């Protein structure tokens, strides 16, 4: 039956796919829930979103997304607790970042209520799709792209904002080894590195494929100017632990201002873990790996959560991280996921009830 919540029309699917999904064996972003949110920008404004059955969309071949890559996205997760409450983690930060990305790509910014009410309505309609198993969640992908037509290299006059969701397990299937990049760059000063622009990811695929062929899962990008400083990985920010100090690089217009990253910094500080936000040179990390003071490296992101890094490669040399019993990575991961899934107090006010 169709309904309207928060002015949002809901057109329900006649056939659910949920019974085909093995919730005990979820990959990342592989199966999609029954519905999606769809919202159009035309005639100079965003129009009220609708929840519709998840289905292919039709676009003109001259739509500017195909030619000029005007597209931005977000990554979020929804969790369900044992009382069937649905939780999000700092969703307003994702909304704000989507608009920051949009602005840089000359895409019209979205009104907050279309994003938030649209997302909440979608989650309520597809609430059965939110996994409860530890380590699983409903991955949420909001995105905006140019659906307007024309070969003129200028911003489109029409856009689509869509949110689709995927019940998901871990992003990395196994051990994570990273290659510290010394040739290619992900982003440059004054560029779009801070935005979650689709093209930032396309540009990483070729160098990442080369790294995968050498046995690594991700590239750690270094600054484009000198390749001497660690910036971030393909899908996550990077932390290193030297002796007892947790260090991460500062954000800039080349780096995504990760929500997991800033939460870890706040959480670690509140637990009296020494934290430094400063430039990290590759030479410092290599030296620390050689002299044994490099205790941990991990990636942080919505999809990756906190992913320990087992080793890294640099200039044809491989370095292994020690296998410690008690790591910051496992401690902080438990703290943060307990907050996200409503298993513990949330002194920071990060959890958001849908």
| Binding site residues, ligand COI, CB under 6 A | 75, 235, 301-304
Question: Choosing among ligand PLP, ligand COI, none, which partner's interface includes residue 72 (Cβ < 5 to 8 Å by kind)?
Answer: none
Minimum CB–partner distance for residue 29 and ligand COI (Å): 7
Q: Are 68 and 153 in contact (CB under 8 A)?
A: yes
Question: Choosing among ligand PLP, ligand COI, none, which partner's interface includes residue 99 (Cβ < 5 to 8 Å by kind)?
Answer: none
Four-CA torsion 282, 285, 290, 291, nearest 10 degrees: 140
Query: Which of 139, 294 has the CB closer to ligand COI?
Result: 139
Cα dihedral sign for 82, 84, 85, 88? positive
Minimum CB–partner distance for residue 67 and ligand COI (Å): 23
Q: For residues 181 and 169, give the distance between their C-alpha atoms in angstroms, rounded to a whole number.
A: 28
Question: Choosing among ligand COI, ligand PLP, none, which partner's interface includes residue 136 (Cβ < 5 to 8 Å by kind)?
Answer: none
Nearest alpha carbon to residue 105 among 191, 234, 231 = 191
Q: Are 39 and 118 in contact (CB under 8 A)?
A: yes
Question: Choosing among ligand COI, ligand PLP, none, which partner's interface includes residue 119 (Cβ < 5 to 8 Å by kind)?
Answer: none
Q: For residues 48 and 50, give the distance between their C-alpha atoms in angstroms, rounded to a whole number.
A: 7
Question: Choosing among ligand PLP, ligand COI, none, which partner's interface includes residue 258 (Cβ < 5 to 8 Å by kind)?
Answer: ligand PLP
Query: Which of 302, 341 has the CB closer to ligand COI?
Result: 302
Minimum CB–partner distance for residue 241 and ligand COI (Å): 21
Q: Taking CB positions, which residue lies at the least distance from ligand COI?
A: 75
- Chain residues that interact with ligand PLP, rule: CB under 6 A: 75, 232, 235-237, 256, 258-261, 301-302
Q: Are 328 and 241 in contact (CB under 8 A)?
A: yes
Burial 308-342 (b: 16+ CB within 10 A, else e): bbebbbbeeeebebeeeeebbbeebbebbbebbbb
Minimum CB–partner distance for residue 144 and ligand PLP (Å): 15
Nearest alpha carbon to residue 77 among 18, 8, 142 = 142
Question: Choosing among ligand PLP, ligand COI, none, which partner's interface includes residue 232 (Cβ < 5 to 8 Å by kind)?
Answer: ligand PLP
Minimum CB–partner distance for residue 9 and ligand COI (Å): 28
Query: Which of 101, 342 has the CB closer to ligand COI?
Result: 101
Minimum CB–partner distance for residue 140 and ligand PLP (Å): 11
Question: Choosing among ligand COI, ligand PLP, none, which partner's interface includes residue 220 (Cβ < 5 to 8 Å by kind)?
Answer: none
- Spell out where the chain has E strands: 3-5, 8-10, 35-42, 45-46, 50-53, 71-73, 76-80, 86-89, 137-146, 159-168, 176-180, 218-222, 230-233, 237-242, 245-248, 275-277, 294-301, 305-314, 317-320, 351-353
Query: Which of 237, 282 has the CB closer to ligand COI?
Result: 237
Q: For residues 36 and 121, give the distance between their C-alpha atoms in angstroms, rounded to a whole number.
A: 10
Query: Which of 220, 304 has the CB closer to ligand COI?
Result: 304
Query: Which of 93, 109 has the CB closer to ligand PLP?
Result: 93
Minimum CB–partner distance for residue 304 and ligand PLP (Å): 7
């Amino acid at each position: 039956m169709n309904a309207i919540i928060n002015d949002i029309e809901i057109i329900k699917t006649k056939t659910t796919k949920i019974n085909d999904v093995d919730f005990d064996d979820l990959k990342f972003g592989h199966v999609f829930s029954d519905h999606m949110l769809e919202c159009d920008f035309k005639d100079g404004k965003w129009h009220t979103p609708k929840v519709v059955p998840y289905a292919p969309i039709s676009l003109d071949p001259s739509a500017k997304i195909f030619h000029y890559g005007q597209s931005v996205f977000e990554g979020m997760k929804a969790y369900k607790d044992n009382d069937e409450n649905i939780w999000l983690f700092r969703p307003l930060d994702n909304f704000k970042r989507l608009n920051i990305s949009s602005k840089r790509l000359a895409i019209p910014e979205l009104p907050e209520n279309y994003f938030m009410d649209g997302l909440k309505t979608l989650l309520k309609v597809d609430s059965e799709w939110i996994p409860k198993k530890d380590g699983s969640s409903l991955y949420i992908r909001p995105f905006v792209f140019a659906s307007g037509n024309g070969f003129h290299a200028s911003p489109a006059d029409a856009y689509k904002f869509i949110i689709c969701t995927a019940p998901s397990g871990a992003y990395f299937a196994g051990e994570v080894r990273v290659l510290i990049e010394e040739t290619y760059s992900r982003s440059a000063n004054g560029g779009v590195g801070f935005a979650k622009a689709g093209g930032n990811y396309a540009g990483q695929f070729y160098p990442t494929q080369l790294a995968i062929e050498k046995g690594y899962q991700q590239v750690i990008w270094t600054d484009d100017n000198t390749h001497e400083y660690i910036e971030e990985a393909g899908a996550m920010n990077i932390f290193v632990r030297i002796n007892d100090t947790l260090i991460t690089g500062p954000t800039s217009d080349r780096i995504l201002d990760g929500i997991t990253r800033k939460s870890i910094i706040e959480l670690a500080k509140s637990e009296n873990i020494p934290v430094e936000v400063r430039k990290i040179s590759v030479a410092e990390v290599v030296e620390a790996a050689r002299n044994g003071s490099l205790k941990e490296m991990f990636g942080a992101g919505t999809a990756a959560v906190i992913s320990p890094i087992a080793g890294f490669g640099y200039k044809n040399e491989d370095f292994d991280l020690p296998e410690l019993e008690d790591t910051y990575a496992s401690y902080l991961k438990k703290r943060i996921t307990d907050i996200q899934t409503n298993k513990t107090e949330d002194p920071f006010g990060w959890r958001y009830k849908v």
